[in-house]
Structure 1
Amino acid sequence: MKLSPKTKRLLWTCGVLLVLLLAGGGLFTWIKFFRQEKQVFANEAEQFKYGSLGAEGDRGIPYYLWLVLPRVFPDLMPGPGGYKSFGVVWEEGHEIPVGFSKKTVGFERITNNCAICHTATWRAREEETPHVVIAAGSPVRLQEMLRFLFKAAHDPRFNADSIMTEIRLVSANDYGNGGLSFIDRQIYRYLLIPLTKKALLEQEKQFTWMNRYVSNNQPKPPWGPGRDDAMNLTKYFMTSMPEDDTVGPTDFPSIWNLGIRSGKDKAGKQMLLNWTGDTPAVRSVLIDSALGLGAPPRPWFLQRMADLDRYLSNLPPPAWPFGHANPINQALAAEGQKIYARDCASCHVPRGEFTNKVIPIAQIGTDPERMHSWSKAAAEEANRKVKEMGIDRPLMTELDPYGYVSPPLDGLWMRAPYLHNGSV
């Protein structure tokens, strides 16, 4: 059948309109959901505190939703002050706490990075502005923050009406309505809020092990401030091993000057990292920790891990800040040096005989719970899982833990409490 010129023009016009419509829809989808804006930082320290690890796809919370959650659920918070009540470090003049990253992937999303667990502050007087120390063990109450998000997701107030009401009260820019355009408000109302709720409820299932009973119907103790159950997190996120009753919360360690804790000691023996000597390499610790935060194993991610390795391996410990106001008594320090050399140095001097080596539990007498939370089988499974992801990193130590690593004591004044593995 021969088409008339008019019919041909109509079909051609419809075809062009369809192509334009599809192209416009694709462009809209890319702009609103997938377009990435590069983060720019003044220096490596700022990037450590606020830089993304690339976890926005799986773990990113829409920014304005994250912003108003403490306002919608103040009764679920541990105290006043919003997220600061969880013990996060929040620098003056910053819109988000240290350890949080705000990145645009279609829309602005909030994720966590290494600094959430490894940044602390000090001050000499109560009225003084806190001094931020990068790579120190954080005081954050991480478990409480996780449980807050899960409780909020179960709460009937987690709905579009309640949350959008709070977002409209946020005067972020000239749009009003929380800085959101009409289209963005519809995306939040009909997509982001319900999908985030669903994602939180799904993620909660990965944390059921936190609520297991260990004995005599006694629940596992809370992690507490400045601690997490690191190896159980690794075990259940990376390996999907069956849940058990182990509980091993330990202090967030300082991670400055990592270069003196890895490689070989003065005698050529391999040094080990993590509390039970789980790995011989800084890069392995960084990769596994970032994977636990939801970072995807892509080339960009591996380059970021290499950059972090270099930065933290060379980051000096914080200097003692009170030398001018309270000079060190050199005579007493000299006496202390003798005691340290006699009783401490073999286990704690950098690259010493026993430094960054596993000291048997029977020798140090520390409680064994953190040690029991990891195993040879878990290490083998973690190594296999990482290899499946296409990541080439030094293998975790495939041995059952038998003690705890003795670390160097650089920056000791910012390392309290001073208890073996921090779990006592």
Structure 2
Amino acid sequence: MKTLCNCPRWLKITGLVVLLLTVVLGIVGYNRFMRDYGATVFDNPDDRFKYGSMGAENDAGIPYWIFYVLPRVFPDKLPKPGVGYASFGVVWEEGQELPVGFSKRRIGFDRVANTCASCHVSSYRTQADETPTLVVAGPNHTLDLEAFFRFLVDCAKDPRFNADTLMAEIELASKLDFIDRMAYRYLIIPITKKRLTEREGQFQWLYRHDFPEWGRGRDDAMNLTKYFMIRWPMDDSFGPTDMPSVWNLKKYQPEKGHRMNFAGDSHDPYSVVIDSALGLMGAEPKDKDDFLGHIDWLVDYLKNKPAPKYPFPIDAARAAHGKSVFDANCAACHASARTGTIVPLAEIGTDRGRINTWGKQAAIEANKVVSDMGIQRKGLVEAPLTGYVAQFLDGIWLRAPYLHNGSVPSLADMLAPPAQRPQVFWRGYDVYDQTKVGFVVQGPEAERAGTPLDTRLRGNGNGGHSFGTSLPAGDKTDLLEYLKTL
């Protein structure tokens, strides 16, 4: 019987060549498609929050060069053509490669994903020609998240989303090597198109014409959880929610009965951060230990991130009198044992749309999804929602517009009787109104930069919270001056 050693020489050489080619192709394939080169390390914790990877690039990441050229190929699908990703109201620092809230990580090839900072970094200006000041952990009131979601899906569904069109644009911006060109043309672009198109099912309710637009600075928080985490079929609920601030999270103390999220549907900061991060990832973490390590860092960072001080002059005498007005009219909910706990809907009287989007069974199923991943946290409250949380007011000056659905543009408007509050205004302009304590919401510049919010539409009601609305005008002015100090 012949052994391998008795094989013809040509066959041995051929086998050796095949083996070497297999090894080389395996190494190249691993390095170009699968190898995780690790996240960028940031010395500055604010930069880590703004741009640091949480691992979402694995399943939710978009190939960098596709992300780069989409606005160039599909300007007609942008909310405001001609200004690229800036048309979505992303916060963008001068000199940075990506907007705040976007991370870049090489896993075989460069990929881009969202981070918590996309919704939780604020900006403001004192006048239109000024560079915006950024405030980390504040609500991003300029971001049109709904438009961004739809943009990705709409691009993928368009016939122009093909290798010839995208590669022509990519090659204008970068000289990819042969392997990357072949990979993008025959694998990366077709796979990305397929995955983005598959997201359409999760985004169905974003295309419903009977639902108002979220507009800038809002999302539909618990429906996002239902459709992304527990994959429920679309129902008829609609609960637009303002982007919250996430600074100074140590103020929430579950042992005192505090609840988190506007409707009190989560127990503690750790649970909220985990659930938000899982929503960004869209799948179970590839490396659970690495993921939980990042969560631990985030929770510690946000617990100890202080609320920003009001950056403009404050009338100290008015503020001193305003404190007495606050103590008499506002402190019972916003500076007491009741702060951070749920106020019944019948008492506060605000729009109930947010409450209708969630319930006990949804919480049970969401908690099971996370538990099945082997991740332990207190999780979502397995009980019906009955009202809204009495908010802590630290940094309240930067949290406009107000109420859980962002339907009241300024603190001055909050002190007006509900019938006198603006019915229609423009959200997303970042020039600050020091008199009304909020952002400018009317006029040509606000209309150009923002999106309209009509409080007569579903989920947008601006009624309720009538506390302090009958105060004398002078007391209201002094109260506003005091609120600036918080």
How far off its partner does 1:12 sit?
A: 4.3
1:306 pairs with 296, 299, 324, which one? 296
Rounded Cα–Cα distance in structure 2 between residues aligned with 1:64 and 1:243: 33
Say yes or no: does 1:341 pair with 2:327.
Answer: yes
Amino acid paired to 1:315? K
Say yes or no: does 1:231 pair with 2:222.
Answer: yes
Rounded Cα–Cα distance in structure 2 between residues aligned with 1:242 and 1:155: 25
Residue number in structure 2 paired with 1:173: none
Please give the residue correspondences for 1:248-259 in structure 2 after superposition, counting only pairs within 5 Å: 248-259=239-250
Residue number in structure 1 paired with 2:33: 33
Could you list the per-position Cα deviations for residues 292-344 of structure 1 after superposition, in whole angstroms to 9, with x for gaps in the alignment?
1126331111111111000001100112212xxx3x22211111101111111
Amino acid paired to 2:190? P
Rounded Cα–Cα distance in structure 2 between residues aligned with 1:5 and 1:47: 58
Say yes or no: does 1:204 pair with 2:200.
Answer: yes
Amino acid paired to 1:383? N
Q: Is the 8 A contact 1:63 1:110 kept in 2?
A: yes
Residue number in structure 2 paired with 1:215: none
Please give the residue correspondences for 1:14-413 in structure 2 after superposition, counting only pairs within 5 Å: 14-38=14-38, 39-79=40-80, 80-138=82-140, 139-170=142-173, 178-212=174-208, 219-264=210-255, 269-294=256-281, 296-297=284-285, 298-322=288-312, 326=313, 328-349=314-335, 352-413=336-397
How far off its partner does 1:4 sit?
A: 9.2
Rounded Cα–Cα distance in structure 2 between residues aligned with 1:33 and 1:353: 54
Q: Is the 8 A contact 1:261 1:408 kept in 2?
A: no
How far off its partner does 1:10 sit?
A: 4.6
Q: Is the 8 A contact 2:88 2:144 kept in 1?
A: yes
How far off its partner does 1:395 sit?
A: 2.7
Rounded Cα–Cα distance in structure 1 between residues aligned with 2:321 and 2:292: 47
Rounded Cα–Cα distance in structure 2 between residues aligned with 1:342 and 1:141: 38
Rounded Cα–Cα distance in structure 2 between residues aligned with 1:276 and 1:339: 27
Amino acid paired to 1:26? G
Amino acid paired to 1:54? G
- Structure 1's consecutive aligned runs of 4 or more residues displaced over 6 angstroms after TM superposition are none
Rounded Cα–Cα distance in structure 1 between residues aligned with 2:92 and 2:175: 22
Q: Is the 8 A contact 1:112 1:293 kept in 2?
A: yes
Amino acid paired to 2:276? S
SS at match of 2:202: helix
Q: Is the 8 A contact 2:32 2:108 kept in 1?
A: yes
Instruction: Pick closer, same or farther for the CA change 1:341–1:179 going to 2, 3 Å.
Output: farther
TM-score (norm: length of structure 1): 0.91
Q: Is the 8 A contact 1:101 1:113 kept in 2?
A: yes
Rounded Cα–Cα distance in structure 2 between residues aligned with 1:4 and 1:82: 62
Rounded Cα–Cα distance in structure 2 between residues aligned with 1:141 and 1:346: 35
Rounded Cα–Cα distance in structure 2 between residues aligned with 1:337 and 1:163: 59
SS at match of 1:239: coil
Q: Is the 8 A contact 1:275 1:421 kept in 2?
A: no
Instruction: Pick closer, same or farther for the CA change 1:223–1:183 going to 2, 3 Å.
Output: same
SS at match of 1:102: strand
Rounded Cα–Cα distance in structure 2 between residues aligned with 1:420 and 1:53: 28
Rounded Cα–Cα distance in structure 1 between residues aligned with 2:73 and 2:356: 40
Q: Is the 8 A contact 1:258 1:313 kept in 2?
A: yes
Could you list the per-position Cα deviations for residues 341-386 of structure 1 after superposition, in whole angstroms to 9, with x for gaps in the alignment?
111122222xx31111110111011010001101011011111111
Rounded Cα–Cα distance in structure 1 between residues aligned with 2:307 and 2:77: 37
Rounded Cα–Cα distance in structure 2 between residues aligned with 1:11 and 1:162: 45
Q: Is the 8 A contact 1:121 1:130 kept in 2?
A: yes
How far off its partner does 1:19 sit?
A: 2.8
Rounded Cα–Cα distance in structure 2 between residues aligned with 1:419 and 1:260: 20
How far off its partner does 1:124 sit?
A: 1.7
Farther-moved stretch of structure 1 (249-258 vs 7-16)? 7-16
How much identity, in percent, do the aligned residues show?
A: 50
> How large is the RMSD of aligned CA atoms in angstroms?
1.6
Instruction: Pick closer, same or farther for the CA change 1:340–1:421 going to 2, 3 Å.
Output: farther
Q: Is the 8 A contact 2:89 2:144 kept in 1?
A: yes
How far off its partner does 1:418 sit?
A: 2.5
SS at match of 1:362: helix
Instruction: Pick closer, same or farther for the CA change 1:332–1:23 going to 2, 3 Å.
Output: same
